[in-house]
């Protein structure tokens, strides 16, 4: 079945780059998403990538997709303390109902 896996925790220093990784199982995924969740808040869409792309850059965010290995990563350049949050990877899979399958989230801690 569909499954999305993420590492649970990442700690970086302010100003460094952060790389959050995700693996998924559904080879027919069409879109892959990254969401950010701050404490007590809803999910904020950060960026997404179509499955026919290898890379997408959006300001400080770079998404890399390795479709062969079903591996997705999110790189945050010049990480700031305001980037501290939980980051979720999600796939829009083979179902045509648009449901997203989420990973369990990676907590990013940014130390000053």
Partner 1 sequence: GAGVSQTPSNKVTEKGKYVELRCDPISGHTALYWYRQSLGQGPEFLIYFQGTGAADDSGLPNDRFFAVRPEGSVSTLKIQRTERGDSAVYLCASSYRPGYGYTFGSGTRLTVV
Q: Which of residues 11-40 bind partner 1 (CB under 8 A)?
A: 30-31, 33, 35
Total site size for partner 1, rule CB under 8 A: 24
Residue 99 Cα to chain centre, angstroms:
17
Residue 85 structure tokens: 């949050």
Report CA-CA distances (Å) from 4 to 1, 34, 60. Answer: 10, 12, 24
Interface pick for partner 1 out of 11, 27, 41, 55 (rule CB under 8 A) = 41
| 52-62: b (≥16 Cβ within 10 Å) or e | eeeeeeeeeeb
45 touches partner 1 by CB under 8 A: yes
Residue 72 engages partner 1 in binding (rule: CB under 8 A) = no
Q: Which residues bind partner 1 (CB under 8 A)?
A: 4, 30-31, 33, 35, 41-45, 88, 90, 92, 95-105
């Amino acid at each position: 079945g569909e499954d999305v896996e993420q590492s649970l925790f990442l700690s970086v220093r302010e100003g460094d780059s952060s790389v959050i990784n995700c693996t998924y199982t559904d080879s027919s995924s069409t879109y892959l998403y990254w969401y950010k969740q701050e404490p007590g808040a809803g999910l904020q869409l950060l960026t997404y990538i179509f499955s026919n792309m290898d890379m997408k850059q959006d300001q400080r965010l770079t998404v890399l997709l390795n479709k062969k290995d079903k591996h997705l990563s999110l790189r945050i350049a010049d990480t700031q303390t305001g980037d501290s949050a939980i980051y979720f990877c999600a796939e829009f899979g083979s179902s045509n109902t648009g449901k997203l399958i989420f990973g369990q989230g990676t907590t990013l801690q940014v130390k000053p």
